[in-house]
Structure 1
Amino acid sequence: MVDELDIDMVIIAMPSASSKQIRNVVELCEEAGVEFRMLPKMADLIAGRVSTGALREVSIEDLLGRDPVKLDLPAIRAGMSGKCILVSGGGGSIGSELCRQVARLGPARLVIVDHSEYNLYRIDYELTRQYPDIEIVSMLCDVTDPSAVDQVFERHRPAVILHAAAYKHVPLLEPQVREAVHNNVIGTRTVADAADRFGSEIFVLVSTDKAVNPANIMGATKRMAEIYCQNLSQHSATRYITVRFGNVLGSAGSVVPLFLEQIRQGGPVTVTHPEITRYFMTIPEASQLILQAGVMGKGGEIYVLDMGQPVKIVYLAEQMIRLSGLEPGSDIEIEFTGLRPGEKLYEELFHEKETLVSTEHSKILLARYRTWDWERLQKLLHDISVACQRYDEDSLRGAMHEFVPELSPTPPAALPSNVIPLDSHKA
């Protein structure tokens, strides 16, 4: 039909289509060699953010995203509106989107905490202009500094804390055990304890699938933070809730910005292994489900977000190259570099000893958690804090294995002959 009618461009006018339907149409357009654009999504049209004439290119989110999330907005609004909400790590990818979502719910005050001056400035600049009627307080604060954290809580008495502050880059943290533990474990404990002392209603820990059977330092520290918050909930009037999910498309340090940069430079696009897979969801979807889980929890739960089917990273790379108008293998090469330290071929969303049960929300599952002896837990955390002060990484590694006995280094994966070792590629 494209050749017969001499079609120059296909307009995909399917604003309510699922990602699978869009992928099918895009593949047909690519096979026919015709340019394509699409109308904005129905949600954007209804919200008035765009007009029907605003054609745009198909994005990777269109191909890998899922159906729109159905939220219990009355419950979320009841849990958030008219209250003081604190978002730690509020300048980061997830944290900033949480701030946007919370601002739409009409809080009495939104307190944004981050240790990056520039990230804090950006989200403050954005939200103070979009929501002039909401009191927005942006504070430079290191979550590992008890005095600074106490000062924030003393001033603002937040009812709800969304704790998104964390180091998350797996290869970077692997040789920096002290920094990973100090920020992700001691920092979480510092904020969580403040929530207890100052009588906050809800504390939500943003966690990761890398905390399940961790093969790296980052995942182990997030699992340690989960354990502390779960068990603290049994000794506090504050409800401590953990939300665990996989990779987020377009977040800082994720493969999407990396691939885009590599494509702009003419390649190659580097993938660690031909079989490596990851779970993906969009930043808005992850943030909305965090808020939903936060108001559902009674305290002590680990909520696992339904991430759909895992996606091969090589498929993601191929689609991003094609969306740039290029062809994988001929215009842009894909090179396999080998798994990095602490990296697994696939991620898991729950531990074998965590029984998953459904909840009232179709995309949120509940994992039954494992209890700890409270005194033992407190002593171990005290020892970890002392080891952090002394930069005693051997003791930290030992404590980490006591906390998370399932922690094991990534076994080397067998790679096919077309894999280019990273060291050789750099040479």
Structure 2
Amino acid sequence: MFNLNEFINNNVTKRSKSMFLDDVISHNKELWALIEGKSILVIGGAGSIGSSFIKAILPFHPKSLSIVDTNENALTELTRDLRCTDGIYIPMNYNPYPMDYSSITFQHFFQDHKGFDIVSNFSAHKHVRSEKDIYSIEALLRNNVINANSLLKLLEQFPPQVYFCVSTDKAANPVNIMGASKRIMEDLIFSYSDIFPVRTARFANVAFSNGSLPAGFLARLEKLQPLSAPTDVKRYFVSPEESGQICMLSCMLGANREIFFPKLDEAHMISFDDIARTLLKTRGYEILECKSAKDALRYSKDLSAGGKLYPVYFSCSDTSGEKSFEEFYTEQETRVFDRFKALGVITGKEVPEHKKVEELIDELNNILNNRGTTKDDVIKLISDYLPNFKHIETGKSLDGKM
């Protein structure tokens, strides 16, 4: 029987145990002291990373856990999963809410609760495919920046002991709007750091997370559809368990204004086509490499008759915003490597002037409200704010691929 967690450990991360386990164990007493008896709000908690964060913190017995997510079905399944997991601690005050964190309903909820001790925000557009035109760009920037700012203004009313918001490795020297939006998000939360402590983490792809290409491989296999993947794009991967642990460690053990990242080097990178090849072999298939997507679709018809030759279409990446490699920090950023076994920390980041960040968000809001705004207008505004933003534009989107 196929076990996804075993496949990830053996073939993707190539680690038999979590790379952060030793850090969790060595800081166990601190984690208990910082989490036990606390009220915790997790926004975007039904997603891959948010739900893994929840599973990481529950063993330390928080007093209450409120989870907000727009995906009602995923929120329901998370609750079922937790309730059906033997031995897991669930506080008596456990409340999942299907709502948008930028809604008036959420404002009422937060104000009536008079805030929370720990607030973690995992709600974000995370995919490069989310920037193909002005509408997708607007949705991305409103979620990742504009609505995030509204949340922080709300937190000012009842400041938390800790605010954590997950970033991305794509925020280091960004080449796409998604990465740039998360880099702006870092400045945004830091601009509130005199009001309440903030911290974040940049890390890699979560193996087989919701909506990811590897998760798509599983869906294609279930439907006997061909697999497609780039051959020239290598990425760092962490397991779902590791994604929750890095966020917990960053949230609870970080100092104000710190950015955490996993200690991974180039040897840990793997390409998507390699994952696809290994997955097919593990599932008992031989690989038929096709010269086009059309050929792969044609040969996939044989699978329904029980064929074991699986059609794939592997090609070089040619879509906008794709780096052939990833990085967790820039050369200008100060890094500390000796505080944790598996985590590095970016420290000493300049705290951006709150007024300057607010002005950028106002400008973003204004041009997005202008119906004549183009993608180039948005890129120019972001480039003026982030001089190291070098957008890669090819005129092609991932939505045009299998």
TM-score (norm 2): 0.82
AA partner of residue 140 (structure 2) = A
1:263-282 alignment to 2 at 5 Å? 263-266=221-224, 268-272=226-230, 274-282=231-239
* Residues 1:171 and 1:180: Cα distance change in structure 2 (over 3 Å): same
Report if aligned partners of 1:143, 1:183 keep a CA contact under 8 Å in 2. no
SS at match of 2:286: coil
Match of 1:374 among 354, 364, 370: 354
Aligned partner of 1:384 among 364, 367, 376: 364
The Cα of 1:401 is off from its aligned counterpart by 1.9
Change (3 A) 1:319 1:407: same
Q: 1:249 to 1:154 in 2, by over 3 A?
A: same
AA matched with 1:402: D
Are the aligned partners of 1:226 and 1:242 in contact in 2 as well (CA < 8 Å)?
yes
* Cα distance in 1 for residues equivalent to 2:324 and 2:111: 45
Matched, 1:312 2:271: yes
Name 1:64's counterpart in structure 2.
12
Report the secondary structure of 2:67's partner residue.
strand
Q: State whether residues 211 and 219 of structure 1, in contact with CA within 8 Å, keep that contact through their aligned partners in structure 2.
A: yes
After TM superposition, the structure 1 stretch with the greater mean CA deviation from structure 2, 295-304 or 241-250, is 295-304
Q: Give 2:121's aligned residue.
A: 163
Aligned CA-pair RMSD: 2.7
With over 3 angstroms needed to count, the CA separation of the structure-2 counterparts of 1:182 and 1:392, relative to structure 1, is farther
Cα distance in 2, alignment partners of residues 137 and 349 from structure 1: 34
How big is the shift at 1:265?
4.5
Cα distance change, pair 83–58 in 1 and its aligned pair in 2 (3 A):
closer
What is the percentage of aligned positions where both structures have the same residue?
Answer: 24
Asked whether 1:365 is paired with 2:344, we answer: yes
The number of residues matched between the two structures is 361
C-alpha contact 1:164 1:206 (8 A) present in aligned 2: yes
CA contact (8 A) 1:216 1:342 kept: yes
Distance across 2 between alignment mates of 1:318 and 1:160: 42
Structure 2 equivalent of residue 289 of structure 1: 246
Conserved 8 A contact 2:174-2:388:
yes
Structure 1 residue 248: deviation in Å? 0.2
Distance 2:205 2:186 in 1: 18
Map 1:221-240 → 2, pairs under 5 A: 221-233=181-193, 235-236=194-195, 238-240=196-198
Aligned equivalent of 1:334, options 312, 325, 331: 312
SS at match of 2:391: coil
Residue type of the alignment partner of 1:224: I
Q: Which residue of 2 aligns with 1:12?
A: none
User: Are 2:40 and 1:85 equivalent residues in the alignment?
Assistant: yes
Higher relative contact order (CA 8 A, sep 6+): 2
* Structure 2 alignment gaps of length 5 or more: 290-308
Distance 2:54 2:33 in 1: 17
Partner of 1:75: 30
Residues 163, 391 of structure 1: alpha-carbon distance in 2 compared, 3 angstrom cutoff: farther
Select 1:408's aligned residue among 359, 370, 390. 390
The residue that corresponds to 1:192 in the other structure is 152
- Partner residue in 1 for 2:76: 121
Q: Distance in 2 between matches of 1:396 and 1:104?
A: 44
Residue of structure 1 equivalent to 2:326: 347
1:367 is paired with a residue whose SS is strand
Q: Supply the distance in 1 between the matched residues of 2:147 and 2:372 (Cα, whole angstroms).
A: 18
Residue deviations 1:166-187, cap 9 Å, x none?
1112113332211110001112
CA distance in structure 2 between the partners assigned to 1:349 and 1:278 by the alignment = 12
1:51 matched to which residue of 2? none
Among 280, 286, 298, which residue is 2:255 paired with? Answer: 298
Query: What CA deviation, in whole Å up to 9, does each residue of 1:87-138 have, x standing for no partner?
Result: 1001111111222222222111101011122222222333356556431112
CA change 1:122–1:267 in 2 (3 A) is closer
